[in-house]
Structure 1
């Protein structure tokens, strides 16, 4: 599963300023500082149904920074005072009127305006104006409040015309999402072994099939997708990322670690954002647009350095775009593993992972689950998945719930929307099917956020799923994207979310039933701790169910069941 393309969408944020909370001065943002701001945007994908992107003004043009071909130089963009003040007012008023909490989390919003308006009036560049806005939003102390630079929001691959799509049905195109539109993908392109080669949209978000997670405190390869460029370059699970194009990973991590060490409240929003930033640093560094190439240095199992060249290409499933947000690559991976059981039939477990909750992934997800209906259990891997369209959580839950049970409620300022599962009665092929009642495991890590947390937390509180891995990001506020007079986009929370048991996920995250932190030593020998724990649980549940069924069929006579739980499969490479 490829997640670094999500981070890549916000690479232009590196050109925006950052101010430390309550900082009296504005300074340019370096790459390390950008990591603090990055996750706030990445995990804030628009996930609330009914929250269509809106514009704060009409007939406005974007003022964007010009960048050199190597994407490293910065050209400061003038910010006319009237535009800066107009944008400041738009952000301040939007938050005041649309924040789900009328008290604005206890913040004196009028005082914030009085304090920061003079800075907006004196801003000489777009970067400085953004810094003031980010300072203002940081006072709320909540996730899903951010300014996305206009050049990042406008960044989009070349769109093919309808005629081109008819003439070349296997080509990929960018799908423009809307709350009422479902995007479908040609079945042949999902299953084609050479889909990567036939994919188009050059210049759009690229993938390489290497997922980097924080393992033992260091960015390490967690998964490698077969047949993509990372696998072809020889990258292996468990390798530690040392540098990308000469940029040392240690240099990127140091400022974050120093700021984390200075934090006095480790449960604050700022502290959580720092930890998530640390977790996504590897994927951010190893990212690129389609057609770009990165030279990466890894440390292998023997401690030797391995230098590889990795090319980025469009995702085999294409990419998708939602309103004012940048385009996202779609990645859906699935497999069925079979574990032999002494004295009995094998235990078959379906494993499904996807990188973002966007409807462009729906068809591939539906097809994968339909192939797993005969399995003894299913694992849904949401590690590294930052969220997306919230309504998809209800659809996915419907595969595993026979009745429209509630995953939780979206609490707006004046309304409440319940997230009820949509039981699936018909397969993707149009055949009537039954609800999947076999054991369901969900894998999470610190990069799992928003809709991933809604689904996992909701299913966990319903007692329908068992969660394995690490505590999630704790960034679970439904958000809306609003265009600003400057051409930038304001991402702002419009609701809170609580599970059916009243569990508030914002600031808490989904706490796993079985905590399993990844280990580099295990990864290097082909073990995935969280997946192994999930498969062991499914195997134990399956053998118990088989024994009970056999006993019942034998008129309650005691029947000896296989006692040896199968060894979890070798999961490398994935």
Structure 2
């Protein structure tokens, strides 16, 4: 009856990047468990009684109902496409609600909700269970971690995209590219807590298809910084951006404040899930003229608004003129796509790496009654040149395959970007010849 595609989640442009329910990285490498009342839902939602089998705890069933009904209602009343892509949303409710009400734990409940949200075929629609939401909220605080970054995969399960150096996962031999079953079968699953000193068993499939059951003990580690400046190379400044989080524009302005115009700049946005729209604008203000149009967004009612460069880049009064490159890959999402797209269209930067994820609708978070979180697309988005990046992504000017994070592997994309920048002419804002 319905398609069964797997969707990814993007962060709200009005909130800090907070990781995925389904699509942003489930960061276990080391943002407030939200709760609140749920308003009555019109029509049959408000009046339908909870019908569950006797063995199921009634409090669990009632919370299941509140969470499911809140998600269903938010899609019906707030989704950016009022036609919901032509789906029969009432039929979707009839199909998935019984299983949601009968769920015996958060894992079962949110898997059912994800199945319903998958009908939207929208990389931004996702619901994070309470444990995942708490990890997202604590991402920049010292906390218990395993040391892996997970991305959901089509057909279920999660892929290891990063293993943190010095972490329990690295010590246990976990490798980039391994896959973790997402349903809790055989071990831990992302809807469960991570507690300092409490051993966890994880069921992986390695890159050769061999099952590996790994037991590791999470421990507290300091958070990884959201932004990192690398000045180790002569005449090159590499600015690594983990997410478009609060303070990014101010930080970038400080890095550029006393920089020689002869120093090339590389913005590394690989594995970046996106974040605040205002911080994307702040980054653009570091390199593009004030009031320059860079995108158009259209809300549910069909009203459009032009986005123009207006945020201050750390107090700078003029944009930097340094030669500029942006690194992207298939895990660059949302603001980490619209930013390189704007710089690319303006002829201001060379984009290097792999095609981005193509997940560029404008989304917003909604707290769920159990402390979980729903992320939902609230507006459509096109570039200043009229390109809709959703389901398309940003094509690099210079295509360089990612090294898949293998230990000791050379960073070919970064090396290619630096080489291209060094061939750039001295003209202000010129792009290198990459033919």
- The TM-score, its normalising length taken from structure 2, stands at 0.70
Residue of structure 2 in register with 1:530 after alignment: 413
| Aligned equivalent of 1:46, options 1, 6, 12 | 12
Counterpart CA distance in 2 for 1:151 and 1:220 is 20
Residue of structure 2 in register with 1:130 after alignment: 110
Residue of structure 1 in register with 2:296 after alignment: 409
Q: What is the SS of the residue equivalent to 2:422?
A: helix
Superposed displacement of residue 450, structure 1: 1.0
Counterpart CA distance in 2 for 1:132 and 1:309 is 30
Superposed displacement of residue 115, structure 1: 2.3
| Aligned equivalent of 1:449, options 301, 325, 333 | 333
Residue of structure 2 in register with 1:496 after alignment: 380
Post-superposition Cα deviations, 1:211-235, rounded to whole Å, max 9, x if no partner, equal 999xxxx97879x9xxx857xx9xx
Q: What is the SS of the residue equivalent to 1:495?
A: strand
Counterpart CA distance in 1 for 2:16 and 2:242 is 22
Residue 111 of structure 1 pairs with residue 6 of structure 2: no
Q: Please state which structure has a larger fraction of its residues in helix.
A: 1
Contact 2:8-2:122 at 8 Å conserved across structures: no
Residue of structure 1 in register with 2:22 after alignment: none
Residue of structure 2 in register with 1:245 after alignment: 172
- 1:5-84 matches, within 5 Å, as 40-41=8-9, 44-48=10-14, 57=38, 80-84=60-64
Residue 540 of structure 1 pairs with residue 423 of structure 2: yes
Superposed displacement of residue 146, structure 1: 1.2
Contact 2:195-2:218 at 8 Å conserved across structures: no
Contact 2:176-2:406 at 8 Å conserved across structures: no
Residue of structure 2 in register with 1:4 after alignment: none
- 1:46-445 matches, within 5 Å, as 46-48=12-14, 57=38, 80-155=60-135, 202-203=142-143, 229=166, 245=172, 252=179, 313-315=221-223, 330-336=225-231, 348-414=235-301, 415-422=303-310, 424=312, 428=314, 433-445=317-329
Change (3 A) 1:421 1:313: same
Counterpart CA distance in 2 for 1:457 and 1:152 is 30
Contact 1:203-1:291 at 8 Å conserved across structures: no
- 1:469-480 matches, within 5 Å, as 469-480=353-364
Contact 2:239-2:268 at 8 Å conserved across structures: yes
Superposed displacement of residue 545, structure 1: 4.2
Residue of structure 1 in register with 2:343 after alignment: 459
Q: How many residues are matched?
A: 370
Residue of structure 1 in register with 2:52 after alignment: none
Greater shift in the superposed pair: 508-517 or 370-379: 370-379
Counterpart CA distance in 2 for 1:97 and 1:491 is 14
Contact 1:446-1:472 at 8 Å conserved across structures: yes
- Which of 1 and 2 has greater Rg? 1
Contact 1:357-1:389 at 8 Å conserved across structures: yes
Counterpart CA distance in 2 for 1:412 and 1:313 is 41
Residue of structure 2 in register with 1:517 after alignment: 401
Gaps of at least 5 residues in structure 1 are: 1-19, 24-35, 60-75, 159-173, 176-200, 234-240, 257-283, 296-307, 316-328, 340-347, 549-564, 566-574
Superposed displacement of residue 373, structure 1: 4.6
Superposed displacement of residue 470, structure 1: 0.5
Counterpart CA distance in 1 for 2:70 and 2:232 is 53
Q: What is the SS of the residue equivalent to 1:410?
A: strand
Residue 487 of structure 1 pairs with residue 371 of structure 2: yes
Q: What is the SS of the residue equivalent to 1:92?
A: helix
Q: What is the SS of the residue equivalent to 2:327?
A: strand
Contact 1:448-1:472 at 8 Å conserved across structures: yes
Counterpart CA distance in 1 for 2:376 and 2:67 is 14
Counterpart CA distance in 2 for 1:387 and 1:468 is 18
Post-superposition Cα deviations, 1:262-287, rounded to whole Å, max 9, x if no partner, equal xxxxxxxxxxxxxxxxxxxxxx9xxx
Contact 1:290-1:313 at 8 Å conserved across structures: no
- The TM-score, its normalising length taken from structure 1, stands at 0.54
Superposed displacement of residue 527, structure 1: 3.6
Counterpart CA distance in 2 for 1:449 and 1:465 is 18
Post-superposition Cα deviations, 1:77-118, rounded to whole Å, max 9, x if no partner, equal 876433333332221111011111111122121221232233
Post-superposition Cα deviations, 1:511-551, rounded to whole Å, max 9, x if no partner, equal 11110013479984x74221122112211114x549x9xxx
Counterpart CA distance in 1 for 2:15 and 2:196 is 30
